Amino acid sequence: MNSVQLVWAHPRADSLTARVVDAIRQELKQSAVPFTEVDLYRSGFDPRLQQADEPDWGNPGKSYSDEVMKLAEEVNEKDVLLFVFPTWWASVPAILKGYIDRVFNYGIAYGGRRKLNPKSWRWIALVGETHEEFSVERSADQSMSHVLNHSIARYCGAEESEVVFLYNSLGEGVTDLLAHHELLIQQALTAVREAVK
């Protein structure tokens, strides 16, 4: 059975992002899928890359800070990586970018013939805008998918990676917001089921 590393980012524990994570957590438990969870905001994670975690391009065997080495070990024990986050400026929140910068570091996730163990990655991105606004008018989905799937995931050893966009999380033009949010949660759960099968 595949094991999962669940990493998520939202400043509010009562956000729609948190509700999506809660549904994923319940799905994984009910399916008896082993997983660990990193709640970047509530764990006190510092996204700033300090000197101890600065890549040493001449030393792919460098040992980074204890926090980074522990988080990297958690990732490398898993088969699947799941990220859940709100989309801000057609990207991930800064705290998640800091996690990527620090944990997917030189000699851990790339360089010196090293790659991360998880081969299946899912980026579950909550988008405030509608599909029409975000993807059709601005093509923001294409640039975001390219960066996350290719420039990060595949570069770090993923065999397959997919960004799952949950559109219109703000509910523009929606008459039943709760039902709409439940549909978004179900879309996220479908992506999780496909990733862990």
Q: Which residue has the tokens 């994923």?
A: 24
Structural domain count of the chain:
1
The amino acid that residue 177 corresponds to is L
What is the CATH number for 85? Answer: 3.40.50.360
| pLDDT given for residue 11 in this prediction | 98
Q: Which domain holds residue 53?
A: 4-196
pLDDT tens readout for residues 135-153: 999 999 999 999 999 999 9
Determine the Cα–Cα distance for residues 183 and 98; give it in Å rounded to an integer.
Answer: 30
Give the Cα separation of 110 and 95 in Å (integer): 21
Q: Which tens digit of pLDDT belongs to each residue from 97-121?
A: 999 999 999 999 999 889 999 999 9
Predicted local distance difference test score (pLDDT) of residue 112: 82
Distances (CA, A) of 18 to 22, 29, 84: 6, 16, 9
Instruction: Output the pLDDT for position 136.
Output: 95
Report yes or no on whether pTM surpasses 0.85: yes
pLDDT at 170: 97
Q: What is the pLDDT of residues 53-91, one digit of tens each?
A: 999 999 999 999 999 999 999 999 999 999 999 999 999
